[in-house]
Amino acid sequence: VVMHAATQDLEVLDLACGSLPKTLFDTQIAAGFVGQSLPSLANLVERFKGVRLPKGDRLTDWLIRPLAEDQRRYAASDVEHLLSLKDDLSEELLERGRLEWATSECEILRARGRNVRDPEAAWLRIKEARPLKGETAAIAQCVAAWRERRAAEIDQPVRFVMSDLAVVGVAQRKPHTIEALRKVRGIDERHLRANSGELILEAVRSGEGKVVSRPNSVSFELDRKLRPAVALVSAWVSQLCHELEIETSLVATRSDIEGLLAGDPRSRLSSGWRAELVGERVNDLVSGRAALAFGPDATLVLEPRSEDS
């Protein structure tokens, strides 16, 4: 199956059909490996096919039937060029020796789509909630789980139901009344309609007096001495990606770099094509086998260190 920016489409397929495609080629991911950043489909079609796609009305109601002619034309144009785009991108990826990289990333995206979202683990996806401890963490877990289930019931994104900020705020303030809930940052009247406010308070009560169960995993903390290296390595990775015409976020995020420097084998930079392109060279830097220097054009150069240096 060929898609563009397939994440949400895969979620819909999984929810509506209970299945996912056996193979996936995401044209946005592929474009990121050939110097196109992460382009919109319209930009990609114009660049490779010389065709300007019609602009859709983002306020159009796609639930109304029958669809108008301009709606049908817009929907058809969204898929009309995908197969030929795949051919064009695959050819360029092959020329650059990156077809396997792109295929690997598309498979990771496809496989991720079948991961069942556990409501009880939803709070761990909220960055500001992960440091919480004790009863506060347990309340965050219960409120986030309620939000996850409620979103599934009404078929809306979780942040439509309640923002991350509100989940953390409720966990920290531990309100017991609607008036107290109303004062929590991130909570507005929308959250108090019908019985939603009472359900949030019920989630708070269910978390009180409990200790949250965290996943069993080995923690890899970054040595304080290596923290300054994160910014330096990030700058070098960004420069390398610019030179190679690869979207930086496809290669490494700051979290990936921190994980590698901390010795976490789960870091994306510890295996596969990323290890060959970046990970092994950064390990050489950390171990002293290589050094970063400024080149004549003010660029960063990662070069081997001589044994007598």
Tracing tokens 């397929």 back to the chain, one arrives at 13
DSSP state of 263: T
Let me know: does 200 contact 181? Beta carbons within 8 Å. Answer: yes
Q: Is the pLDDT of residue 11 over 90?
A: no
Domain residue ranges of the chain, discontinuous segments joined by +: 2-112, 119-207, 224-304
* pLDDT reported for residue 222: 80
Full-model pTM: 0.77
* pLDDT, mean over the chain: 90
The architecture that CATH gives domain 2-112 is 2-Layer Sandwich (3.30)
Q: What number of CA atoms fall less than 13 Å from residue 216's CA on the CB side?
A: 0
Same fold for the pair 2-112 and 119-207:
no
Confidence bin at 190 (pLDDT 50/70/90): confident
Q: What is the pLDDT of residues 133-176, one digit of tens each?
A: 999 999 999 999 999 999 988 888 888 999 999 999 999 999 99
Q: Which CATH class is domain 224-304?
A: mainly alpha
Q: Which CATH superfamily does the domain covering 119-207 fall into?
A: HRDC domain (1.10.150.80)
Rounded alpha-carbon distances, angstroms, from residue 211 to 13, 136, 176? 36, 9, 19
Q: At what angle do helices 134-154 and 164-173 cross, to 10 degrees?
A: 140
Please tell me which residue, 218 or 122, carries the higher pLDDT value. Answer: 122
Q: Could you tell me if 82 and 44 are in contact, meaning their C-beta atoms sit under 8 angstroms apart? A: no
Q: Which residues contact 4 (CB under 8 A, 6 or more apart)?
A: 26, 27, 28, 41, 44, 78, 82
Residue 34 is encoded by which pair of tokens?
Answer: 């050939």
Residue 116 confidence (pLDDT): 58
Average pLDDT on 87-114 reads: 94
Determine the residue type at 222. Answer: L
Percent of the chain surpassing pLDDT 90: 63
Q: Which of 68-82, 104-118, 246-260, 269-283 has the lowest mean pLDDT?
A: 104-118
What's the rounded mean pLDDT across residues 30-50?
Answer: 94
Q: Two tokens at 54?
A: 């019609």
**CA-based radius of gyration for the chain:** 24
